[in-house]
Amino acid sequence: MTFMSTVATTDPVLTPAQSTPISLRGRLQDALPKIVLAPSFVITLVFVYGFIVWTAYLSFTNSKTFPSYALTGARAYQRLWRWTFESDPPSSWYTSITNMAIFGFLYVGICLALGLFLAILLDQKIRGEGLLRPIFLYPMALSFIVTGVAWKWFLDPGLGLEQTLHHFGWTSFHFDWIKNKDFVIYTVVIAGVWQASGFVMAMFLAGLRGIDGEIMKAAQIDGASAFQLYRRIVIPQLRPIFLSAFIVLAHMAIKSYDLVVALTSGGPGGSAWLPSNFMYEYTFKRNEMAVGSASAIIMLMTISAIIVPYLYSELKEKAR
């Protein structure tokens, strides 16, 4: 009994002074991620969202070469609205939004179709898949400037494909889209698809490799053809990949600027302009900062109209 009481009295007892260092260390560990992320958060808040608010404010002013902070209403938006319907002769804004519709539809549609096709081919466990995958992905590692310059050389009638085929004797071949104001936007589509389709292929390939093989085998035992297999089982399960790829491609299409400049320099008479080119031209070259700011806000609203519903659906699905 005496021994037990002696043991009990020798147990160490932590005083508040001794437990304080442990508590401070725990608080520091909890606060460390916030401390590390705080500078990035502040920089993003100021230089992204702060400048978005500033641009929106300038769009309601009469700013020209330099900012003017006196509000004048929605005059810049009214001018853009009026220019939207000026098609004879077409205004620069009309040309930009028409090109955006053409480029966006073809760029997104072809990239999705070609990316899915390449992914299905590679998913057949073909020989040389390890070599083909990086070949298809390599263009995405290049900047749009490099892609634009390379395709400009290739499509130039006096330097690239047309001239080469003429040297080989095919003198009747003509491909001058890059010099033709009616077709120059399609050269931007070609270069953009070449760069992004490999990235879309990688997304679809990852989705295909994640599909349960037992479902595929069961469908084949039930007599499903290859077409029915992909139409009714594989492609429906790739819906999240389709949506993610669409969001990425649409975002890239709307903010495309450097590809157009490097490939076409805006095209003959600005015929290859996209809204981003219009924004830059009017803000920095034509001294119409208010109009340029208004076009930038319209681009932002377009991107938000695509991304916000996607984020809402994702958050709603996770909440379930």
Nearest Cα to Cα of residue 284 among 123, 77, 67, 111: 67
d(CA 62, CA 76): 8
Give the whole-angstrom CA distance, residue 183 versus residue 79. Answer: 27
pLDDT of residue 19: 47
Q: Span 88-92, mean pLDDT?
A: 84
CATH T-level assignment (fold) for domain 86-319 = MetI-like fold (1.10.3720)
Select from 84, 12, 28, 60 the least CA-distant residue to 293. 60
Contact 179, 159 (CB under 8 A): no
Average of per-residue pLDDT across 101-119: 95
Residue whose C-alpha is closest to residue 201's, from 230, 233, 238, 229: 238
pLDDT confidence band for 8 (50 / 70 / 90)? very low
| Residue 287: closest CA among 66, 2, 70, 138 | 66
Predicted confidence (pLDDT) per residue in 141-199, tens digit: 899 999 999 999 999 988 888 888 988 888 888 888 999 999 999 999 999 999 999 99
Q: Tell me, what's the pLDDT at 317?
A: 75
Give the global pTM: 0.83
Identity of the residue numbered 76: A
Query: Where do the structural domains in the chain lie, given as residue ranges?
Result: 16-58, 86-319
DSSP label at residue 237: H
Residue 98 has pLDDT above 80, yes or no: yes
Tokens of 107: 């760029």
> Is the pLDDT score of 4 beyond 70?
no
Give the CB-side neighbour count of residue 208, counting CA atoms within 13 A.
20
> In the structure, what pLDDT confidence band is assigned to residue 1 with cuts at 50, 70 and 90?
very low
For every residue of 69-117, DSSP letters joined together read -SB--SHHHHHHHHHHT-BTTBPHHHHHHHHHHHHHHHHHHHHHHHHHH
Tell me the three state secondary structure of residue 61. Answer: strand
Distances (CA, A) of 280 to 143, 231, 256: 19, 44, 12
**Token pair in block for residue 225:** 């053809």
At 5 the pLDDT is: 47
Residues 80-92: b if buried by 16+ CB within 10 A, e if exposed: beebeeeeeeebb
Is residue 149 within 8 A of residue 195, CB to CB? The reply is no
Q: What are phi and psi of 126, to 5 degrees?
A: -75, 155
Backbone angles phi, psi at 133, to 5 degrees: -60, -55
The answer to whether the beta carbons of residues 285 and 298 sit under 8 Å apart is no
Q: What are phi and psi of 104, to 5 degrees?
A: -60, -45
Which tokens belong to 98? 């028409």
If we measure between CA atoms, which residue out of 292, 278, 248, 264 comes closest to residue 145?
Answer: 264
SS3 267: coil
Cβ–Cβ under 8 Å, residues 110 and 189? yes
- pLDDT at 117 (0 to 100): 93
Mean pLDDT value across the chain: 86
User: Of 114-118, 230-234, 236-240, 315-319, which gets the smallest average pLDDT?
Assistant: 315-319
**In angstroms, rounded to a whole number, what is the distance separating the alpha carbons of residues 94 and 84?**
5
